[in-house]
Amino acid sequence: MHTPLLSRIVFVYTTRLMYVCLCRAVTDTEIREAANSGTHDLEGLNDALGVGANCGSCRETAQAIIDEHLAEAISYAA
Ligand code: FES
């Protein structure tokens, strides 16, 4: 049985960080920074930050953050 996605996400309210990959302590901000630097898929995130390299439960959320970030970038460019 899968753990609900939201229960796997930890929010740190003091700094507004959201840890996406708990195994590697990678935040949503770090994933967006990686996307800005040209990382646009999970394989690239794995190479750059180790996201998804252990338990893998973060992969869906990490990909969603990249997709959202790229969509925002495209909308700003249009
Ligand atoms: S939470 Fe990312 S590999 Fe486990």
CB-side neighbour CA atoms (13 Å) of 4: 2
User: Residue 25: what residue type?
Assistant: A
* pLDDT tens profile 10-50: 544 455 789 999 999 999 999 999 999 999 999 999 999 99
Assigned domain for 1 exists: no
Alpha carbon of 77 to ligand 1 centroid (Å): 32
Pick the residue whose CA is nearest to atom 1 on ligand 1: 21
Three-state secondary structure of the chain? CCCCHHHHCEEECCCCEEEEECCCCEEHHHHHHHHHCCCCCHHHHHHHHCCCCCCCCCHHHHHHHHHHHHHHHHHHHC
The CATH number of the domain holding residue 40 is 1.10.10.1100
- Report if residue 61 sits inside a domain: yes
How confident is the model over 39-60, as pLDDT tens digits?
999 999 999 999 999 999 999 9
How many distinct structural domains can be found in the chain?
1
Residue 41 resides in a domain: yes
From the alpha carbon of 53, which atom of ligand 1 is closest?
A: 3
pTM reported for the whole predicted model: 0.77
Please report whether residue 42 resides in a domain: yes
Question: pLDDT at position 76, please?
Answer: 80
Domain limits at 73?
A: 6-77
Rounded distance from Cα 75 to ligand 1 centre (Å): 30
Q: Is residue 48 part of a domain?
A: yes
Pick the closest to residue 24 from 3, 2, 1, 42 (CA basis).
42
